[in-house]
Amino acid sequence: MLESLLQACNQIFSVLFGPDALAYWAIPLIAGGVGWTTNWLAIQLTFYPTEFIGIPPYLGWQGIIPRNVEKMANIVVDKVISKLGSLTEVFEQMEPDKIAHHIAEASISRIEEYTDEIMTDRNAILWENLPNVLKQRVYSRARKQLPVVLNNMIQDIGENIEDLIDLKHMIVTQLSSDTTLLNRVFKQVGEKEFKFVINSGLVFGVIFGVIQMIVWILYPKAWVLPAFGCFVGYATNWLALNLIFRPLNPIKISRWTLQGVFIKRQKEVAEVFCHIVTREVMTIKHLMAAMLNGPKKDRAKTLIKKHIKPVVEGGTVKFAAQLAIGPSGYVRLKKSIEEKAIEISTDQFDDPVFNEERANLVANLIQERMENLSPAEFQDLLRPAFEEDEWILIAIGALLGLLAGTIQFLYLFAGSF
């Protein structure tokens, strides 16, 4: 046994330092290149192209995330976002009183413009000829009541927000309509992991390549290089993808702690994820838009109309309007005011400073919750990006490895057979 081992070692050394040594040393280098290339390609195929290229439905390719964007968005909402806080908590964190104050402050300065627009649309000639004193009363009443109405309305929204907004529908719709956004979420959250996948392909490829080289020296059969190439392409992809998430829980080995590279970065990832979500997905503007345009919009509009009703049904305004345009005209005027109120509710959230303040408040809440997720729960943030059609990526790696091994044999060693 020992004698056979010594003979094998002698054979290996004589080849590696012999006249044809360069061809043999190229084996691990090529294997490293195959490992790096297949892993790089796996990452690219995860995200790109964002639109299907080829002949649908099967002859061609679309990035795994863009192709499964709705399914992945549902997974992210169900397994991650739903565990970070209720919609009521999120809205409360945004400080509803400041939201009401912000809308009122922006709207009061344009109250005359809004009123003129509504009244002119209903009866331009009559409004133009209405005594200025009466107009001022209308302006004054609206200006006086608006802050109170908005404060009560925002408070009411906060108390009933779960019944007014379908958060899952909002997020899934938003991510599904913009594949680049979900791509960006996964890419920024897993930036270091994707680099790890690519670079580890080189390391694992070289390691497997050394084994491949030794086997080839001792057993130089035509199928060895293609078979090892296939194995290298498969194994480097499989290992890299699994080492991102495994082991799930930390394992102590002497002074070292082993844990999936993504799981180890939980605090860092939580900060990145929360920054994106609170500034591009769960923003006050998107929440208000979802409330007024989503599947529960009728409830939201009913709530807003309930709070606007006292403004248009009180004292001088109602009397003057009915006197000027009649009961039926007054009904149409009320509808116009209600529609304008809904429009105003969504028009005041383009202030970047105000939005950033709200985003920071919500980020603090959900980041803390996210940092406290268990490893099993936390992995669900990135795992869907790989899990969906993962076998395709590994199979492509194996196929490219087989091709590289075949070319390697034909180019470097076929002449010796």
What the block records as the tokens of 240 is: 């890299």
- pLDDT of 172 over the 70 cut: yes
pLDDT-based confidence at 320, cuts 50/70/90?
low
Residue with token string 């046994």: 1
Beta-ladder partners of 60: 54
Chain segment 208-264, per-residue pLDDT in tens: 889 888 888 888 888 888 888 898 888 888 888 788 888 888 888 777 778 888 888
Beta-ladder partners of 257: 252
- pLDDT (average), residues 166-181: 85
pLDDT-based confidence at 318, cuts 50/70/90?
low
Domain ranges of the chain: 23-416
Global pTM reads: 0.76
Higher pLDDT, 119 or 87: 87
- At residue 146, the pLDDT reads 75
Chain segment 131-141, per-residue pLDDT in tens: 777 677 777 77
Residue with token string 């390719």: 61
- pLDDT of 289 over the 60 cut: yes
Task: Say if residues 394 and 237 touch (Cβ distance below 8 Å).
Answer: yes
Higher pLDDT, 79 or 227: 227
Higher pLDDT, 389 or 82: 82
Task: Pick the closest to residue 279 from 404, 142, 348, 185 (CA basis).
Answer: 185
Residues contacting 161, CB < 8 A, separation 6+: 87, 88, 91, 291
How many CA atoms within 13 Å lie on the side-chain side of 268?
A: 11
Percent of the chain with pLDDT over 90: 1
Higher pLDDT, 81 or 389: 81
- Residue 270 has a CB neighbour count (10 Å cut-off) of 23
Average pLDDT score, the chain: 80
Q: What is the DSSP string of 272-302?
A: HHHHHHHHHTS-HHHHHHHHHHSTTHHHHHH
Beta-ladder partners of 59: 55
pLDDT-based confidence at 343, cuts 50/70/90?
low
Residue 337 CA to residue 141 CA, distance in Å, equals: 14
- pLDDT (average), residues 332-337: 60
pLDDT-based confidence at 316, cuts 50/70/90?
very low
- pLDDT of 323 over the 70 cut: no
Q: What is the DSSP string of 238-268?
A: HHHHHHHH-SSS-EEETTEEE--HHHHTHHH
